[in-house]
């Protein structure tokens, strides 16, 4: 890094400060999200599901695999709140422990997808030319393969585990983030504050990390909730097909266990399926509230 990167003259510093976009009031976006009914409902639902995951080891120290009674006890008919499954395991314990796995897969998969997508989209949008062409053709190649089918192939080849499931979901989810990030960067790189950084001698890497990416993240933050929701649904679908991690209990695993007896003891599949729907609904509500907070045109409606 050159000396001019770290030591600016008073004139250069003043010019850069004037060119930078105005900073929004602190916590303004958070206040707008919490001021929306959708944001409050979505946040409360997610806090409840996160509390289930956090309290699972405390409330059910024996884990989700312990047998507590005879099989097929309906919810409310015995000592367990949600009944027992095909082997007599506590459905309530399985739901609490399953929340851990579903949230873990959703959050980690979304985080990896965001990192990959932001990196590819930022580099492609900032440099353009041949770099943009190569990275976008790579993105197109990944997007041409059906996402769920590609996920099934990866998990089946590597062998089902939490690591392989997270890897597979991440590999099929990053192209959407990359395209969105590239579109934002193409707009941001032409603004005055980016051009000012170039004039005063900042390196490309520093401009991308400190100026371009922070000012292009708004739409990416909105799509993050969608990535988490999609990852949870994908994990449930894989487990339903028997491609889940056999060593952990997830909501998808519970749905798969209830599939053979869906006509008689439908609650075994319905309860975890309902929690998957509830979690996706909560994430979508949060995503809508965040989108409204970042989009001034939507706030005026």
Cα–Cα distance for residue pair 44/105, rounded to 1 Å:
20
Written out in words, the top-level CATH class of the domain with range 89-296 is: mainly alpha
pLDDT at 5: 44
- Distance in angstroms (rounded) separating the CA atoms of residues 16 and 198: 10
Residues β-bridged to residue 89: 67
pLDDT of residue 26: 52
Alpha carbon distance 128, 119 (integer Å): 14
Say what the pLDDT of residue 34 is.
Answer: 77
> DSSP 3-state assignment of 191?
coil
User: Would you mind telling me the total number of residues written for the chain in this entry?
Assistant: 301
Tens of pLDDT, residues 6-36: 444 555 545 544 555 555 555 666 777 777 8
pLDDT value of residue 246: 84
User: Which residue stretches of the chain have pLDDT < 70?
Assistant: 1-29, 295-301
Q: Count of CB atoms within 10 A of residue 141's CB? A: 10
pLDDT at 111: 94
Structure confidence at residue 28 (pLDDT): 67
- Cα 66 → chain centroid: 31
Q: Please report, for the chain, the start and end positions of each structural domain, with discontinuous segments joined by +.
A: 89-296
pLDDT for the residue 50: 94
Query: What's the pLDDT at 179?
Result: 92
């Amino acid at each position: 890094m050159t000396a001019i990167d770290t030591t600016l003259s008073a004139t250069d510093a003043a010019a850069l400060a004037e060119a930078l976009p105005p900073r929004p009031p602190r916590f303004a976006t958070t206040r707008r999200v919490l001021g929306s009914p959708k944001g409050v409902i979505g946040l409360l639902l997610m806090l409840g599901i996160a509390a289930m995951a956090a309290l699972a080891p405390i409330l059910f120290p024996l884990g989700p695999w312990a047998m507590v009674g005879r099989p097929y006890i309906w919810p409310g008919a015995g000592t367990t709140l949600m009944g027992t499954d095909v082997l007599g395991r506590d459905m309530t314990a399985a739901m609490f422990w399953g929340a851990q796995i579903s949230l873990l897969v959703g959050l980690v998969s979304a985080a990896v997808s965001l990192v990959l997508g932001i990196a590819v989209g930022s580099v492609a949008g900032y440099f353009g030319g041949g770099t943009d062409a190569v990275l976008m053709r790579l993105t197109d190649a990944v997007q041409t393969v059906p996402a769920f089918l590609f996920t099934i192939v990866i998990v089946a080849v590597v062998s089902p585990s939490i690591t392989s499931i997270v890897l597979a979901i991440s590999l099929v989810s990053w192209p959407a983030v990359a395209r969105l990030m590239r579109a934002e960067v193409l707009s941001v790189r032409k603004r005055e504050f980016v051009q000012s950084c170039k004039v005063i001698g900042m390196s490309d890497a520093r401009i991308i990390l400190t100026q371009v990416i922070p000012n292009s993240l708004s739409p990416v933050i909105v799509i993050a909730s969608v990535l988490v929701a999609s990852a949870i649904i994908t994990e449930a679908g894989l487990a339903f097909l028997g491609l889940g991690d056999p060593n952990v209990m997830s909501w998808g695993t519970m749905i798969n266990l209830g599939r053979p007896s869906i006509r008689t003891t439908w609650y075994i599949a319905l309860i975890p399926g309902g929690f998957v729907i509830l979690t996706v609904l909560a994430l979508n509500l949060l995503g809508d509230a965040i989108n409204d907070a970042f989009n001034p045109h939507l706030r005026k409606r």
